[in-house]
Amino acid sequence: MKAICFYFSIHQPFRLKRYRFFDIGNDHYYYDDFANDDIITRIAHSSYIPAAESLLRMIEESKGAFRCALSISGTALEQCEQYVPEFVDLLKKLADTGKVEFLAETYAHSLSSLTDPEEFKAQVKAHDEKLYQLFGVKTQVIRNTEMIYCDELAPQMVAMGYKGAVTEGAKHILGWKSPNYVYSAASAPKLKLLLKNDKFSDDIAFRFSNTEWDAYPLTADKYIDWIANTPPEEQIVNLFMNLEIFGELQRKETGIFHFLEALPRFAKERGIDFITPTEAVQKLKPVGELSIMHPISWADEARDTSAWLGNKLQNEAFDKLYSVAERVRLCDDRRLKQDWNYLQNSDHFFYMSTKHLNDGAVHSHFSPYETPFQAFTNYMNVLADFIVRVEEQYPLSIENEELNSLLTTIRNQAREIETLNKEVTSMRKNLEHYNEEHALRAQAAEGAKTEEKKVEAPAKKAPEKKAPAKKAPAKKASTAKKTVAKK
């Protein structure tokens, strides 16, 4: 039986305010709060909230037959908590149905997987903790930032405990193969791969309201028929897209929500199930291994990482940012760590892309800057101030090797202190236990002495009680004498 795996992503970055060169060293707050509030609130009410309500209705009306997955970045969750908490409440309701799976990803929606395995692991862990804190769920399938994946990442994902990963069904990787199967990673066969079906996903995401499209208008029954008519041996159709497609990129007036809510009814008529990513990797056997030598993503025709790291501006900013990664991880400054997360966001590098200057790609549509050069200048000004703050804690004049040596010594001393503290704590507990036992013994001894006194006291008083009995014969003798005298 064929199955549809729906996965919706939700992400919003913390956008930077206009930060001038003269602000460096004087202003340590980098964010455009007005823009962040305005954008997340607008999109939540036009897209996220009505889409979540549609998903709830689809689950209820299908009696749980409809299932899907959500992937939400940590920065998006933070903004939702701050500006639209009612959407977080809806997400909790979706989680409570047990029919919506939450996927793992990097907390900051960062590109750390491409350069810093330790940072990648730490961010995914932080994201998992955030999901568990808010929704009480644990993740089993990972969706890396921008769906980036390659063979090098698979062993690390398995080591982190993930059973599956979702990524792009790139044509230059698949060749003649179909994305409508489960594959296993060539470098770590325990990791199962779910590949996005570009054609069916883009029919909804980009072509739904295009009146020039030869298949316009797209209806739910027509769409399900297309899926049903795929080769019968194909196991699964993965439909991966942003949630804001519903109501934001495809406006409500296009009928996109009616289309979405009608899908479960027509799928049932055609014998098509809905399945979550974890159910897919558990129930469906992989048909073969898939090797992906170089990182792939969802973006552009190339489906590579050039949307974020394709020019000198992007690479200079990227290298400069991660040059202080180790120092930031070692510090205890909460504000510095928060800024570190927000500055890693992949959107900052996306805004620097020069691709739209040549091919009219979608890069400029999402950018708050007039040009990629303006995006680069603004980001580098912010980054310069950030690095000054990092240097105040760990001077950059100290080489990484020397710093590592010093920090290793500090860590060893900290462990030794911790061990000694544990020993002191243990000795204190033993002393307290000894004192408690000593007090109990003293109390028991005092009680025994008291009992002995109680037993001895009645024995001394016994002779006093018998004294009146000895006087009785004397009285009888006196009476007898009186009787003789009378006679």
135 vs 130: CA distance, rounded Å: 8
DSSP line for 397-460: TS-HHHHHHHHHHHHHHHHHHHHHHHHHHHHHHHHHHHHHHHHHHHHHHHHHHHHHHHHHHHHH
345 vs 112: CA distance, rounded Å: 9
Closest CA to 127 of 111, 114, 144, 115: 144
| Residues belonging to the chain | 487
Residue type, position 331, single letter: C
Active site residue 269: no
Quick one: CA dihedral 247, 250, 251, 256, positive or negative?
negative
297 vs 305: CA distance, rounded Å: 6
Q: Position of tokens 């990673």?
A: 185
Residue type, position 71, single letter: S
Which one of 105, 146, 168, 248 is the catalytic residue? 146
* Cβ–Cβ under 8 Å, residues 350 and 366: yes
Beta strands in 248-302 (DSSP E): 250-251, 273-274, 289-290
**Cis omega before residue 463 (within 30°)?**
no
Residues with active-site annotation: 146
